[in-house]
Amino acid sequence: MKDLKQMILIGLFVSVGSQFHLKFFSEGFLITSSIIILPILLYIYDYLSAFKTVLIVAVMSPCFRYLIEIFRGYTLSEAAVMVYPDIFFYVAYAFFFYLLYTRKKRHQLSDFILAILMCDFLSNLVELGVRTRVTEMEDSMILLIIGVAVVRAIIVFALILLLETYKSIMDKRDHLKRYEKLYMLTSFFKSESYYIKKNMDQIESLMKKGFEIHKAVAEGENNEGLEKMTLEFAKDIHEVKKDYQQVVKGLDILEDDKMESVPMDIADIVKIITASIDKSEVNLRIAINFNEKIKEHYYLTSILRNMINNSLEAFGKTKYPRIDIETERQDDACIFTIRDNGCGIKPEYIDDVFFPGFSTKFNMETGDIFRGLGLSIVKDLIETHFNGRLAIDSKVGTGTEMKIEIPIANLRGDI
Task: Tell me what the mean pLDDT of segment 96-106 comes to.
Answer: 88
pLDDT beyond 60 at 386: yes
> Which residues have a Cβ under 8 Å from the Cβ of 87 and sit 6 or more positions away?
58, 59, 62
Cα(first)–Cα(last) distance of the chain, in Å? Answer: 12
The predicted structure's pLDDT at residue 245: 62
pLDDT beyond 70 at 23: no
On whether both 114 and 14 belong to a single domain, the answer is yes
Task: Say what percent of the chain tops pLDDT 90.
Answer: 25
Number of independent structural domains in the chain: 3
Q: What is the DSSP string of 96-153?
A: HHIIIIITSS---HHHHHHHHHHHHHHHHHHHHHHHHTTTT--HHHHHHHHHHHHHHH
Residue 44 lies in a domain: yes
Residue 148 lies in a domain: no
Task: Tell me what the mean pLDDT of segment 382-406 comes to.
Answer: 91
Output the CA angle 393-395-397, nearest 5 degrees. Answer: 145
The predicted structure's pLDDT at residue 285: 92
Task: Tell me what the mean pLDDT of segment 115-131 comes to.
Answer: 89
The predicted structure's pLDDT at residue 359: 60
On whether both 227 and 342 belong to a single domain, the answer is no
On whether both 303 and 243 belong to a single domain, the answer is no
pLDDT beyond 70 at 257: no
List pLDDT tens digits, range 285-307.
999 999 888 887 777 888 888 88
The predicted structure's pLDDT at residue 370: 47
Which residue in 391, 415, 266, 408 sits closest to 331, CA to CA? Answer: 408
> Which residues have a Cβ under 8 Å from the Cβ of 54 and sit 6 or more positions away?
38, 42, 90, 91, 93, 94, 97
Pick from 118-132, 257-271, 276-290, 340-354: least confident: 257-271
Element (H, E) at 329: strand 322-330
From 199, 223, 254, the end of a domain falls on: 254
Task: Tell me what the mean pLDDT of segment 238-267 comes to.
Answer: 64
Which residue in 318, 309, 360 sits closest to 342, CA to CA? Answer: 318
On whether both 272 and 403 belong to a single domain, the answer is yes
On whether both 289 and 397 belong to a single domain, the answer is yes
Q: How would residue 372 be classed by pLDDT, with cut points 50, 70 and 90?
A: very low
Q: How would residue 319 be classed by pLDDT, with cut points 50, 70 and 90?
A: confident
Do the strands 399-407 and 389-395 form a parallel or antiparallel pair, or are they unpaired? antiparallel
Residue 405 lies in a domain: yes
Task: Tell me what the mean pLDDT of segment 60-87 comes to.
Answer: 88
294: left (phi over 0), alpha (psi -120 to 50) or beta: beta
Residue 162 lies in a domain: no
Residue 382 lies in a domain: yes
On whether both 326 and 371 belong to a single domain, the answer is yes
Residue 10 lies in a domain: yes
From 254, 273, 295, the end of a domain falls on: 254
On whether both 269 and 387 belong to a single domain, the answer is yes
407 or 189: which leads in pLDDT: 407
The predicted structure's pLDDT at residue 214: 62
On whether both 268 and 203 belong to a single domain, the answer is no
Residue 169 lies in a domain: no
The predicted structure's pLDDT at residue 51: 93
Do the strands 30-32 and 293-294 form a parallel or antiparallel pair, or are they unpaired? unpaired
Domain of 216?
A: 175-254
On whether both 20 and 124 belong to a single domain, the answer is yes
User: How many angstroms separate the CA atoms of 221 and 224, rounded?
Assistant: 9
On whether both 247 and 371 belong to a single domain, the answer is no
Residue 142 lies in a domain: no
pLDDT beyond 60 at 371: no
Q: What is the CATH number of the domain that holds 334?
A: 3.30.565.10
190 or 243: which leads in pLDDT: 243
CA distances from 264 to 75, 183, 267 (A): 54, 16, 8
List pLDDT tens digits, range 182-226.
755 655 565 555 556 666 666 667 667 766 776 666 666 556 666
On whether both 93 and 200 belong to a single domain, the answer is no
Task: Tell me what the mean pLDDT of segment 362-373 comes to.
Answer: 45
The predicted structure's pLDDT at residue 364: 46
Average per-residue pLDDT for the chain: 79
Q: What is the pTM assigned to this prediction?
A: 0.51
From 202, 228, 254, the end of a domain falls on: 254
Task: Tell me what the mean pLDDT of segment 334-363 comes to.
Answer: 78
On whether both 123 and 89 belong to a single domain, the answer is yes
Phi, psi of 230 (to 5 degrees): -70, -35
Q: What is the DSSP string of 117-130?
A: HHHHHHHHHHHHHH
